[in-house]
Amino acid sequence: MPDLSFVEAAARSIAPFVATGNLIILESTSPVGTTEKVKGWLKAELAKLGRQVDGLLFAHCPERILPGQMLKELVSNDRICGGLTPEAAEKARDLYATFCTAQIFLTDARTAELAKLTENAYRDVNIAFANELSLICDKLSIDVWELIRLANRHPRVKILQPGPGVGGHCIAVDPWFIVDAAPAEARLLRTAREVNDSKPHHVVAQVRAAAGKDAVVACLGLAFKANVDDLRESPAVEIAAHLADAGLKVLAVEPHVTALPKALQGRAELVTLADALARASVVVLLVDHRAFAGLTLAQLAGKKLIDTRGVVRN
């Protein structure tokens, strides 16, 4: 069940300040129907305060930005303005047109809400296809990276790259909003989430099979994707935690942070790449950071390698 308590608190918090004709915009990725709930929460709070405010307009305008490119993409990306009324959508468009140089599309609020969820669910399903292929290839002793490279030579095939799972605050979360809203219908989306959620456990099983009783395991990367310091919902953190739970000595290498996340504090050691390669008997490459791009088989000589990103090719 989605937790909308923070959205509700934000909606209620503006009750003392709104004025007649104000436009209230929800940008946060939200379950379908949340904009209607924002209207209800705000009106309820206004009634509690004894305030009569007419002509309020409500719209959902989902953000579309890439971490690290926020200022650029706020201006250059197409936007969707979904109003609870056509007037609200038009007012929202007029606002975004003051700084957005791309196209702005008008629709209703529920469609706008589902559009953003659909964008992230689409990515999740495609990643799940690649991750499921990696499981099949492990079963059949086939190099999944070679398989995908060859399959992608077809002019209408573009398979993504597999990994240790899916993380971040969007793709790993948003499809569940659709599943929650239409559980009987969202069968493919549910399965994709289950495939991607299960991938960290597969990686842990691979590491445990490769590791001896007193193995030292180096986990290269903790972020949820390459070249960022964002650890939210990161499968790499989950994998490192499970390995620590299994009693293995875990060395974490994450060049974009200076401290371990709470889930690993006291359970792993944050070290440099050089230190990890010197001490570890098993190396698990979890994030394809640029800092790891130069790894060679010579540096990994005598160690067991689990490469979930296909960075080090034999």
Give tens-digit pLDDT for 195-213.
999 999 999 999 999 998 7
The residue from 39, 91, 116, 199 that is catalytic is 116
> Would you call 100 a catalytic residue per the annotation?
no
CATH architecture assigned to 5-115: 3-Layer(aba) Sandwich (3.40)
Total-model pTM: 0.90
Q: What confidence tier does 115 reach under pLDDT thresholds 50, 70, 90?
A: very high
Contact partners, residue 217, CB within 8 Å, separation at least 6 = 207, 211, 243, 248, 249, 250, 251, 280, 281, 282, 283, 284
The residue from 100, 170, 225, 304 that is catalytic is 170
Among 127, 116, 117, which residue's Cα sits nearest to residue 158? 127
Domain residue spans of the chain: 5-115, 211-314
pLDDT at 66 over 90: no
How many CB atoms within 10 Å of residue 232? Answer: 14
CATH number of 211-314: 3.40.50.720
Tell me whether domains 5-115 and 211-314 share a fold.
yes
How many CB atoms within 10 Å of residue 179? Answer: 19
> Would you call 43 a catalytic residue per the annotation?
no
Please give the Cα distance from 139 to 17 (Å, whole number): 60
The DSSP output letter for 104 is: E
Instruction: Please give the pLDDT value at position 76.
Output: 78
Instruction: Please give the pLDDT value at position 74.
Output: 76
Instruction: Please give the pLDDT value at position 68.
Output: 66
Instruction: Please give the pLDDT value at position 214.
Output: 83
174-199 tens-digit pLDDT: 999 999 999 999 999 999 999 999 99
